[in-house]
Structure formats: C-alpha cells, structure tokens
Homo-oligomer: A and B are copies of this chain.
C-alpha cells in the first residue's frame, strides 16, 4: 500500500523478522508452526514478530482450520519487492538464511492438511 521506506527498514531491523521475511519470500506460504520450527524460536515470539510484519503491510495471512498461513504481500511497492529479491540473491546461501531453509525442509509432517 503506502508502505514508507522507514517503516520498511524498521520492520526488518530485528534479525528474526528479516529471517522470516526472506524465508517466506523464498518458500511461499508458511504456517506459524513451520516458521517456529525453521527459525527455532518460541511460538509467541514468532507470532508477535509476524504480527509486526503484517502490521507494517509486508505480510498477509489467512486461516485454514487450525493453521494460520503467512505470505509476503503481493501488492508491495515495486522497489520493496526488488529490495527483498536483491537481498535474497545476496545472502540466501549464507548463514542463518540457508540454515533456516534447510531446517524447514528437514521438518517432518509439515502441514499439508495434516498436522504440525
């Protein structure tokens, strides 16, 4: 929407919010429990930071049954999308971002309507 540059940058000022955003941009929709697993952090911490990213307008969410899926908004300003993509291109193969994806993929029983 009318996402301001300073809101964008302060939304990403916490390492975990940056990790979550990059992971979501690369993986598409993820539920809270997947993020909790991938980032290895407590659920309330994850939920609160996701809430901040959503509040900033960077994320959208939808509930499906017990699970809430978050994804990167598809109506971001073009420059924001480019900045995110450029950041991914620059750092996605480094720690901790690469590890986050590996942890996600190593997760068993990812909720495909199944469980968490």
Contact = CB atoms under 8 A, between A and B. Distances in A.
Interface of A: 5-6, 9-10, 12-15, 18, 77-80, 82-83, 86-87, 89-91, 94, 97
Nearest to A13: B13
Contacts of A79: 86-87, 89-91
B87 A86 contact: no
Identical chains bound together, number: 2
Contact of A9 (B12, B80, B97): B12
A20 to B, nearest CB: 12
Contacts of A87: 5, 79, 83
Contacts of A77: 90
Task: List the 9 closest A-B pairs by CB distance, nearest first.
Answer: A79-B90, A13-B13, A6-B15, A9-B12, A5-B91, A10-B13, A82-B86, A83-B83, A83-B86
A13 to B, nearest CB: 3
Nearest to A15: B6
A14 B6 CA distance: 7
A90 B10 CA distance: 17
Contacts of A83: 83, 86-87, 90
